[in-house]
């Protein structure tokens, strides 16, 4: 989510942007390079919780908002920031809008279902909001159905991709061959064909289903490697790989920096992420920015039919969308693409073109700027 918010605010007029956020490691150096103003709290999130945390955020905000002449408050972290936004609306009469990404909304609904006081507070925050931004049409539908919000109050702003950073191999810097060799050596890739996933190693991401499918895929592509990028518990996945006889075909990289991530996108033959809904829909993929990053590097995708993923991957045009629980279908689709390099090339080029035309942060910034201006105009905030 942090990348989403940064991508948007970095494209808004800097003189109109004020950010209040936590202190993180390296924050001072990071902030020096920003064109907009940033205020950092003097406490850490994990050290202050509950009502005291909300109160501290409110005290910061009630000073900053008038001082910086903030017209519209943007709430990017429900419910915590929602409490503060609601209080500012009552005390300072400032309008606010709320961002939702899918899973955050469902978790809020779940918390409300277990605590009627929280549920009533959440409902008050939602009713008073002047607008909502959803990261996908899927999330927009959730806002309508779960929160009873009119579709007229919801704007869909898809995540963007920095296409100056995420680029295909042919457009990378001249030192690419050196990084190519270094990545091969570090992760023992040995020039073999590669499937790639990027995301936390949770069940929702569907890495386990790809591992199960590997036993079938391996029969036709014995040298194939499946590289999983991301942090999380590898124990279950390694055990599953051993049970399916594909432990030699699996590589875990853990966390990688941006340069290595771009390198791995370009090294892979096919990007594969098969997310599914978990915990009765409480754990869901609202969109899937990683598909856009892979597409920006001219890579075809295989995705799971879940949440808002079908908005990130167009079936039959930029990749294939499959039943996330059908291991046989996953295997068949991957085998079909690996056996048809020309089709993979077409999907990759189509995906890259789509990202460059439709999923830029500039476009997202324009949409948010227009919404903020409309809310200011409607509420007569000057």
Q: Are residues 208 and 347 in the same domain?
A: yes
* Residues of the domain holding 353: 169-358
Q: CA 9, CA 362: separation in Å to the nearest integer?
A: 10
Query: What is the CATH number for 338?
Result: 3.40.50.2000
Q: Are residues 201 and 337 in the same domain?
A: yes
- Residue 373 included in any domain: yes
Q: What local confidence, expressed as pLDDT, does residue 1 receive?
A: 80
Burial readout 354-381 (b: 16 or more C-beta within 10 A, e: otherwise): bbeeebbbeebbebbeebbeebeeeeee
Alpha carbon of 288 to those of 1, 15, 109, 294, 322: distances in Å?
11, 31, 21, 11, 15
Full DSSP string of 219-255: TT-TT-EEEEES-S--HHHHHHHHHTT-GGGEEEEES
Q: CA 371, CA 297: separation in Å to the nearest integer?
A: 31
Largest CA distance in the chain: 67
* Tens-place pLDDT, residues 206-260: 999 999 999 999 999 999 999 999 999 999 999 999 999 999 999 999 999 999 9
DSSP 35: S
Q: Are residues 100 and 62 in the same domain?
A: yes
Q: What local confidence, expressed as pLDDT, does residue 68 receive?
A: 94
Q: Are residues 101 and 225 in the same domain?
A: no
Q: Are residues 262 and 320 in the same domain?
A: yes
Q: Are residues 50 and 152 in the same domain?
A: yes
Q: Are residues 349 and 368 in the same domain?
A: no
Q: Are residues 224 and 249 in the same domain?
A: yes
CA neighbor of 97 nearest in space, from 75, 79, 80, 71 = 75
Instruction: Give the count of alpha carbons within 13 A of 369, CB side only.
Output: 17
- Residue 88 included in any domain: yes
Q: CA 370: distance to chain centroid?
A: 23
- Residue 28 included in any domain: yes
- Residue 80 included in any domain: yes
User: Collapsing DSSP states into helix, strand and coil, what is residue 284?
Assistant: coil
Q: What local confidence, expressed as pLDDT, does residue 2 receive?
A: 85
User: Collapsing DSSP states into helix, strand and coil, what is residue 100?
Assistant: strand
Q: CA 240, CA 210: separation in Å to the nearest integer?
A: 11
- Residue 164 included in any domain: no
CA neighbor of 285 nearest in space, from 274, 296, 293, 301 = 274
* Cβ-based neighbour number of residue 47 at 10 Å: 7
Q: Are residues 139 and 179 in the same domain?
A: no
Tokens representing 77 are 């972290």
Q: Please count the structural domains in the chain.
A: 2
Q: What local confidence, expressed as pLDDT, does residue 219 receive?
A: 95
Q: Which residues of the chain have pLDDT under 70?
A: 43-49, 281, 382
Residue 5: which residues within 8 A CB-CB, separation 6 or more?
76, 99
Q: Are residues 79 and 188 in the same domain?
A: no
Q: What local confidence, expressed as pLDDT, does residue 174 receive?
A: 73
- Residue 30 included in any domain: yes
Q: What local confidence, expressed as pLDDT, does residue 281 receive?
A: 66
Q: Are residues 8 and 69 in the same domain?
A: yes
Q: Are residues 126 and 105 in the same domain?
A: yes
Q: What local confidence, expressed as pLDDT, does residue 18 receive?
A: 95
- Residue 154 included in any domain: yes
H helix runs in the chain, sequence order = 2-9, 27-32, 50-67, 80-92, 103-114, 116-128, 137-147, 176-187, 207-217, 235-243, 258-267, 289-296, 309-312, 327-338, 341-358, 361-378
């Amino acid at each position: 989510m942090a990348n989403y918010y940064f991508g948007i605010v970095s494209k808004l007029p800097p003189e109109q942007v004020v950010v209040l956020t936590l202190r993180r490691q390296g924050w001072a150096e990071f902030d020096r390079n920003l064109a907009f103003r940033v205020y950092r709290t003097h406490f850490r999130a994990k050290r202050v919780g509950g009502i005291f945390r909300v109160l501290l955020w409110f005290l910061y905000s009630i000073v900053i908002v008038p001082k910086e002449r903030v017209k519209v408050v943007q709430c990017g972290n429900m419910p915590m920031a929602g409490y503060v936004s609601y209080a500012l609306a009552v005390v300072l009469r400032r309008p606010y809008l709320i961002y939702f990404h899918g899973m955050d909304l469902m978790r809020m609904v779940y918390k409300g279902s277990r605590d009627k006081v929280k549920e009533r507070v959440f409902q008050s925050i939602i009713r008073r909001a002047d607008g909502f931004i959803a990261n996908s049409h899927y999330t927009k539908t959730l806002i309508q159905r779960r929160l009873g919000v009119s579709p007229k109050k919801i704007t869909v702003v898809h995540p963007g991709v920095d296409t100056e950073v995420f680029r295909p191999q042919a457009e990378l810097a001249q030192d690419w061959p050196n990084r190519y060799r270094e990545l091969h050596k570090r992760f023992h890739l040995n020039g073999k064909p590669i499937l790639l996933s990027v995301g936390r190693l949770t069940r929702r991401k569907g890495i386990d289903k790809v591992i199960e499918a590997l036993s079938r895929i391996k029969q036709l592509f014995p040298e194939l490697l499946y590289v999983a990028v991301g942090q999380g518990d590898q124990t279950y996945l390694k055990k599953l790989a051993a049970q399916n006889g594909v432990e030699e075909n699996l590589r875990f990289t853990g966390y990688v920096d941006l340069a290595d991530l771009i390198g791995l996108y370009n090294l892979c033959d096919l990007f594969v992420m098969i997310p599914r809904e978990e915990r009765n829909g409480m754990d869901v993929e609202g969109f899937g920015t990683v598909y856009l990053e892979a597409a920006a590097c001219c890579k075809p995708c295989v995705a799971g039919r879940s949440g808002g993923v079908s908005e990130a991957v167009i079936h039959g045009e930029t990749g294939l969308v499959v039943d996330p629980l059908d291991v046989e279908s996953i295997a068949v689709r991957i085998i079909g693409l690996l056996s048809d390099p020309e089709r993979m090339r077409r999907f990759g080029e189509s995906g890259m073109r789509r990202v460059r035309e439709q999923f830029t942060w500039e476009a997202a910034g324009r949409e948010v700027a227009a919404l903020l201006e409309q809310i200011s105009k409607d509420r007569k905030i000057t």
